[in-house]
Amino acid sequence: MNTLGSKFDLLEKAKHGDVLFPLVQYIGSFHSINPSLPLHWHPEIEFTKVLSGKAIYSIDLNELDVEEGDIIFIQPNLLHSAKIKRKETMTSESFVFHLNLLGISSADVCSIRYFLPIMEGTVRIPNIIKKSHPSYTKLEQLFTKLSNCYTLHENGYELEIKAILFQLIHLLFRQQLTHDTVSTITHSERMKIIFQFIHTHYSEEISIETLSEHCNISPSHFMHYFKEKVGLTFNQYLNNYRLQQAGLLLHHNSDIADVAYSCGFNNLSYFYKRFKNYYSITPREYLLSFHKADR
């Protein structure tokens, strides 16, 4: 079992399973100290069930409310993130797997007709399946079977997991949960460029002029475009990302000033103010909470 919500970059660097069996389970826990999962993408499918609470998922730059029982399906290469509202919590169980597990590289009809369209985004699958959806019960049963099989690890469990995933893909197509789509990759790719720049240079001074020049658009258009796609101003997003990274660094570094400066905050009092506003506790209280948890 792994914990979701630790360290992500735009292109997620975490390995999901291994080459021979590219599937892994994650248990996600979102609360006041860990309120969000930063925006990222990966070449694997993400199959999730909300176990408790509520959250807001951003998938392909669209915000969606999720609650207990909802099933979330994220296709490969889609930008996505998650966050909770203040004073709320959310737990989830996810399976992240690469279509190599099902033989996407094989030159057969299943790969060409079903797996490649999912991987390339030429068919789209609903991101959120709620209890009211006609296919919910069957999807939820498959998720439960997958969870039990992965947890028990009985002899031959790998074969059963592959069988369940084949059933999943079959159900998505048979129940016509897929539909052809005109590619929206232009906006997604542009946002990947923007976020990659921010995530690489967040510890430095980043001006709107520099970033807009990097994207070949005017500063005024950049500000409007960023707010429209992200729902935050550029400075709000940059501060939030810096604070997320500061929270991660404080797990391993107790020097608050060093963490603040390494995350692009040159004014320590401003860092304290922004940190408390974001996490609802001070950096010192944040540190103490982890020391208590480690005892």
What pLDDT, on the 0 to 100 scale, is given for residue 292?
62
What pLDDT, on the 0 to 100 scale, is given for residue 9?
44
At 266, which amino acid appears?
N
Structural domains for the chain? 2-180 (2.60.120.10), 185-294 (1.10.10.60)
Distance from C-alpha of 124 to C-alpha of 77, rounded to nearest angstrom: 12
What pLDDT, on the 0 to 100 scale, is given for residue 5?
42
What pLDDT, on the 0 to 100 scale, is given for residue 180?
66
What pLDDT, on the 0 to 100 scale, is given for residue 293?
55
Distance from C-alpha of 36 to C-alpha of 46, rounded to nearest angstrom: 17
Distance from C-alpha of 232 to C-alpha of 240, rounded to nearest angstrom: 10
What pLDDT, on the 0 to 100 scale, is given for residue 228?
83
> Looking at residue 11, what DSSP letter applies?
B
- Three-state DSSP class for 40? strand
Between the alpha carbon of residue 186 and those of residues 18, 80, 117, 183, 294, the distances in Å are 31, 16, 18, 8, 45
Distance from C-alpha of 25 to C-alpha of 143, rounded to nearest angstrom: 12
What pLDDT, on the 0 to 100 scale, is given for residue 6?
37
What pLDDT, on the 0 to 100 scale, is given for residue 11?
54
pTM summary value: 0.68
Between the alpha carbon of residue 106 and those of residues 29, 97, 121, the distances in Å are 37, 17, 19
What pLDDT, on the 0 to 100 scale, is given for residue 185?
45
pLDDT < 50: residue spans in the chain: 1-9, 183-185
